Amino acid sequence: MAEETKKSIDPATIQMLEKAARDGCRVVFDRAESTKACPIGAEGNCCSICAMGPCRVPVPKGREETPEQKKNRTGVCGATAETIAARNFARKIAAGAAAHGDHGRKVTDMFIAAAKGEAPGYEIKDEQKLLQLALELGVTIGDRSNNEIALDVGEILRAEFGKQEGELLMLKRAPLKRQELWRKLGIAPRGIDREIVETMHRTHMGVDQDYQDLLHIGSRCALADGWGGSMIATELQDVMFGTPTPTHSQINLGVMDKDAVNVIIHGHEPALAEMLAVVSQDPEMIEYAKSKGASGINLAGMCCTANEVLMRHGLPIAGNFLQQELAIVTGALEAMIVDVQCIMQGIVDVAQCYHTKIITTDARAKIQGATHIEFIEHDAIESAKSILRAAIDNFPNRSGEVLIPDVKADLIAGFSHETINYLLGGMYRASYRPLNDNIINGRIRGVAGVVGCNNARTTHDDAHLTMVKELIKNDVLVIQTGCSAMALAKAGLMVPEAAALYAGPGLAEVCETVGIPPVLHLGACIDNSRILMAATAMVKEGGLGDDISDLPAAGAAPEWMSEKAITIGQYFVASGVFTVFGVNFPTTGSKEVSDFLFKDMEDMYGGKWAFEPDPLEAARLMIEHIDKKRKALGIDKARERVLYDMAMRRELE
Ligand code: SF4
Ligand code: MSK
């Protein structure tokens, strides 16, 4: 028991780890013990990009290195430890940008198909957002139909992926000062694919071998994700599936139902999940489930696909990244339906211990040993039904012990940046003014974006919870996405009542007045673009400087594991945000590269990286940065003076 407690702080996870051990089933936590991380690769000191290598260039431990020894510590081609670390880092950025970009491209293709009437079942759900996008992109509105407008919007945004020159259109959303800085530094991205391709080329053997230059083009590639691929995905998903509004739901393995056909949809893209949410309510499908002896169909999400359907349909979440195999261990999961990204190959082996069917649905993501049933967007309803039928057919195959942990929590999700606008300012004067005012008067000390994954090398969920509790205790409003948001939701911090229990007095007062939790769920990893938009809205509202880097704000990914997290971190830094990562950091093997990321980038971008595995210390760094920005804005005194008298309470209301 003590052993399992160290692996996770989540009681449902601990219970399922014990069951997996009883069942003789090996899961990710076991594999993390038997497969040790390579310390040389972890620090960025291994290069394997050509067949003269892999070359390992670690800093010698326990002895001072002479300049001569350092000079000779190179790969076979002569590449220095700095070049190797920077090249590895830039390649991670390119991979993350490619993942988000390809998601964005697929959404754009579907959006165009829906506008042409070639994807029945998908339609324009948020007309207002469509018209706003049309205005922004210069598309004629007049008396044209939504589909005609959407077709133009879709074509313009699809062209952003293959654009060869100029600048990405959505860069214009950033504060003017930020745009000018990107142009001056030569890091304003031209086209999404172009930046990814150029980064891959420049990091090929024998091309760009200046570590500063490599990190710089890495920034351009990352910006092509944050203000390009990810932002396009979020915008078009909102138009097609609806912009999220606050929604109540539940989270953790306890949302599974032992009497129903349990189906989990796992991955990142919402197209199939949206359709499954619809067809799982179809009386014909429910009857089919009953004909197999089940009480009905229970659909839940996992990882970011879960966030997508949670925000728009209130569908429950079964868990975050490290829980994907544990849902199978319950013995009650008929099918895990996966699309793309963050799907561990291990789920196929775990499924062999039980009766669960693993169904891959995307041509880009197949797994040996899984059943592949391709989801056809052009025939979405029938296609989703046939996938669901395969899950239902598996219900009679249940065998062995069924044990669903009696652990779940309530949560409120769906805080798009538009919703924050309405909630704070009211329907008739929607604005970020109240947020800015409460930051200026000191009730809210600042804002922190805490995002990212779980990592089997560190105690599951612990760093997320410890960091966020410390931040809100110090009156920092926390906004979240991805698996980090799920960690806080499971711990019960995403309900309005959490403000009185966990938040400092100023933040608690604002949350109680507005009726929001102290920790806001903004969506999936792709929706970190919503955080960029929220930060920009705060700048444009006035009173907190004229660039994102002036805001009393910080970012963190305390349990990151994915390359996408590095891309997100880099686009935050290049947008002016101080960003702290935990677990490990892939450049610590090179002092020069780390210094460039942890110090010099602040002079260039106004934002920089930090690495701090202790979540309390990381929170302290974030608060220190927020206080530094408050001082620079001249609003540090307001916070010292803040007293909650009746007049101020009335003014809040
Ligand atoms: Fe080694 Fe250079 Fe080849 Fe990298 S590119 S593997 S450092 S020889
Ligand atoms: S799902 S990228 S483990 S947050 Fe977006 Fe979670 Fe990280 Fe995947």
Looking at all shown ligands, the one closest to residue 269's CA atom is: 2
Ligand nearest to the CA of 308: 2
Query: Could you tell me if 67 and 103 are in contact, meaning their C-beta atoms sit under 8 angstroms apart?
Result: no
Asked whether 362 and 375 are in contact (CB, 8 A), the reply is yes
Closest ligand relative to 559 C-alpha: 2
pLDDT on residue 421: 73
Q: Cα(481) to centroid of ligand 2, in Å?
A: 9
Contacts of 200 (CB under 8 A, 6+ apart): 91, 94
Strands 46-47, 357-360: pairing is unpaired
- Does the beta carbon of 85 lie inside 6 Å of ligand 1? no
Place of tokens 């002036």: 550
**Ligand 1 pocket, 622 CB below 6 A?**
no
Say if residue 419's pLDDT is above 90.
no
Q: Which ligand 2 atom minimizes the distance to the CA of 454?
A: 3
Largest CA distance in the chain: 76
Percent pLDDT > 90 in the chain is: 90
Q: Is residue 54 reached through a cis peptide bond, with omega within 30 degrees of 0 on the bond before it?
A: yes
Query: What is the Å distance from ligand 1's center to 590 Cα?
Result: 16
Q: Is the dihedral of CA 457, 467, 451, 226 positive or negative?
A: negative
- Of the pLDDT bands very low, low, confident and very high (cuts 50, 70, 90), residue 236 is very high
Q: Please tell me if the CB atom of residue 76 comes closer than 6 angstroms to any atom of ligand 1.
A: yes
* DSSP result, 413-428: E---HHHHHHHHH-GG
235 in Cβ contact with 242 (< 8 Å) = no
pLDDT in tens, 137-188: 999 999 999 999 999 999 999 999 999 999 999 999 999 999 999 999 999 9
Three-state SS at 50: coil
More confident residue, 358 or 426: 358
Q: For atom 7 of ligand 2, which residue has the closest CA? A: 453
> Atom of ligand 1 at shortest distance to CA of 54?
6
Residue to mutate (ligand 2; options 251, 321, 488, 530; most atoms within 8 A of CB): 321
Q: What atom of ligand 1 comes closest to residue 57's alpha carbon? A: 7
Residue with token string 């003017």: 176
Residue pair 184/28 in contact by the 8 Å Cβ criterion: no
Instruction: Compute CA 401 distance to the chain's CA centroid, rounded to the nearest angstrom.
Output: 34
Pair of tokens at residue 562: 């994915």
Atom of ligand 2 nearest to the CA of 524: 5
Ligand 2 atom with the smallest distance to the CA of 560 is 7
Q: Tell me which amino acid residue 205 is.
A: M
d(CA 79, CA 418): 48
Residue 427 has pLDDT above 60, yes or no: no
Distance, CA 196 to ligand 1 centroid (Å)? 21
Alpha carbon distance 270, 107 (integer Å): 9
CA dist 313 and 470 (Å) reads: 31
Q: Are 200 and 224 in contact (CB under 8 A)?
A: no
Instruction: Supply the pLDDT for residue 420.
Output: 78
Testing ligand 2's pocket by substitution, the residue of 100, 103, 304, 323 carrying the most ligand atoms inside 8 A of its CB is 304
Kindly report, residue by residue over 475-508, the tens digit of the pLDDT.
999 999 999 999 999 999 999 999 999 999 999 9
3-state secondary structure (DSSP) of residue 292: coil
The one-letter amino acid code at 9 reads I
207 lines ligand 1 (CB under 6 A): no
Ligand 1, atom 7: closest residue by C-alpha: 75
Separation CA 603–CA 621 (nearest Å):
18
**Residue 75 CA, closest ligand 1 atom number:** 7
| CA-nearest residue, atom 8 of ligand 2 | 342
Residue among 404, 200, 384 nearest 281 (CA): 384
Question: What one-letter code names the amino acid at 327?
Answer: A
Of 455, 413, 458, 398, which is closest to residue 301 (Cα–Cα)? 413
Q: Which of 597, 601, 479, 472 is nearest to 532 (CA)?
A: 479
* Percent of the chain whose predicted confidence (pLDDT) is above 70: 96
Closest by CA position to 557, among listed 626, 620, 481: 481
Task: Please tell me the distance between residue 585's alpha carbon and the centre of ligand 2 in angstroms.
Answer: 17
Centre of ligand 2 to C-alpha 304, Å, is 6
Q: State the ligand closest to the CA atom of 47.
A: 1
Q: Which helix H or strand E contains 110, and what residues bound it?
A: helix 81-115
User: What residues pair up with 302 in beta bridges, in sequence order?
Assistant: 266, 319
Provide the edge-to-edge strand list for the sheet that holds 519-523.
Answer: 519-523, 476-481, 446-450, 553-557, 578-581, 609-611
Q: Is 55 in the pocket of ligand 1 (CB under 6 A)?
A: yes
Pocket test for ligand 2, best of 303, 317, 480 (most atoms within 8 A of CB): 303
Burial of 37 (0-12, 13-18, 19+ CB in 10 A): exposed
Cα of 536 to ligand 2 centre, how many Å?
24
- What is the number of the ligand 2 atom nearest to the C-alpha of 452? 4
**Among 115, 153, 527, residue whose Cα is nearest residue 304:** 527
Residue extents of the structural domains in the chain? 2-58, 81-241, 253-397, 430-633
Using the predicted structure, report yes or no on whether residue 261 has a pLDDT greater than 70.
yes
**567: CB partners within 8 A, 6+ apart:** 92, 93, 95, 96, 97, 100, 221, 222, 225, 226
Architecture of domain 253-397 in CATH?
A: 3-Layer(aba) Sandwich (3.40)
Place of tokens 């929607």: 430
Q: Ligand 2 centre and the CA of 524: distance in Å?
A: 8
Using the predicted structure, report yes or no on whether residue 333 has a pLDDT greater than 50: yes
Average pLDDT, rounded, for the chain: 94
Query: Please, which residues have CB within 8 angstroms of residue 61's CB and are 6 or more apart in sequence?
Result: none
Give me the architecture of the 81-241 domain, per CATH. Answer: Up-down Bundle (1.20)
Supply angle C-alpha 525, 454, 7, rounded to 5: 165
| DSSP character string of 523-579 | ESGGGHHHHHHHHHHHHHHSSS-SSGGGSSEEEEETT--SHHHHHHHHHHHHTT-EE
Ligand 2 pocket, Cβ-based, cut-off 6 angstroms: 268, 303-304, 321, 342, 452-453, 482-483, 524-525, 562, 564
Half-sphere exposure of 142 (CA within 13 A, CB side): 6
Report residue 639 as tokens: 């916070």
Whether residue 79 has its Cβ less than 6 Å from ligand 1 = yes
Residue 440 has pLDDT above 50, yes or no: yes
Lowest-confidence segment of 57-71, 537-551, 569-583 by average pLDDT? 57-71
326: left (phi over 0), alpha (psi -120 to 50) or beta: alpha
Return the ligand 2 atom nearest residue 564 CA. Answer: 2
Which residue type is seen at 101? G
Report how far Cα 189 is from the mean position of its chain's Cα atoms. Answer: 21
Question: DSSP label at 400?
Answer: S
Give the Å distance between the CA of 72 and the centre of ligand 1. 14
* Number of H-type helices and E-type strands within the chain: 31, 16
For residue 580, give Cα distances in angstroms to 40, 242, 476. 22, 32, 15
> What letters, b where the CB count within 10 A reaches 16 and e where it falls short, cover 129-167?
bbbebbeeeebeeeeeebeebbbbbbebbbebbebeeeb
Which segments of 330-481 does DSSP mark as H helices, in order?
Answer: 346-353, 380-393, 417-425, 433-440, 462-473
Instruction: Evaluate if residue 366 carries a pLDDT over 70.
Output: yes
Give 403's DSSP letter. Answer: -
pLDDT per residue as tens digits for the range 97-106 = 999 999 999 9
Number of Cβ within 10 Å of residue 124's Cβ equals 20
pLDDT at position 62, please?
Answer: 79
C-alpha to C-alpha distance for 453 and 307, rounded to whole angstroms: 13
Q: Which CATH class is domain 430-633?
A: alpha beta
203 ligand 1 Cβ < 6 A: no
Report the pLDDT value the prediction gives residue 138, as an integer from 0 to 100: 97
Q: Does any ligand 1 atom lie closer than 6 A to the CB of residue 495?
A: no
Q: Given ligand 1 and candidates 57, 73, 77, 590, which is best to mutate, with the most ligand atoms within 8 Å of its CB?
A: 77
Give the pLDDT band (50/70/90) at residue 1. Answer: very low
User: In sequence order, what are the beta bridge partners of 319?
Assistant: 302
Is there a common fold for 81-241 and 253-397? no
Spacing, Cα 79 to ligand 1 middle (Å): 7
Round to the nearest angstrom and report the end-to-end CA distance of the chain.
48
Task: Tell me what the mean pLDDT of segment 576-601 comes to.
Answer: 97
Q: What span, in angstroms and rounded, lies between the C-alpha atoms of 26 and 20?
A: 7
Q: Is 4's pLDDT higher than 90?
A: no
**Ligand with the closest atom to the CA of 483:** 2
Asked whether the predicted pLDDT for residue 368 surpasses 50, the reply is yes
Confirm or reject: Cβ of 52 under 6 Å from ligand 1. yes
Q: What are phi and psi of 446, to 5 degrees?
A: 180, -170
Which among 40, 45, 47, 202 is the best mutation to test ligand 1's pocket, defined by most ligand atoms within 8 Å of the CB?
47
Strand-by-strand arrangement of the 357-360 sheet: 371-372, 357-360, 333-338, 261-266, 297-302, 317-319, 247-251, 409-413
Residue 206 C-alpha to ligand 1 middle, in angstroms? 9
CA torsion 71→73→79→80, rounded to 10°? -60
The three-state secondary structure class of 165 is coil
Mean pLDDT of 456-472: 98
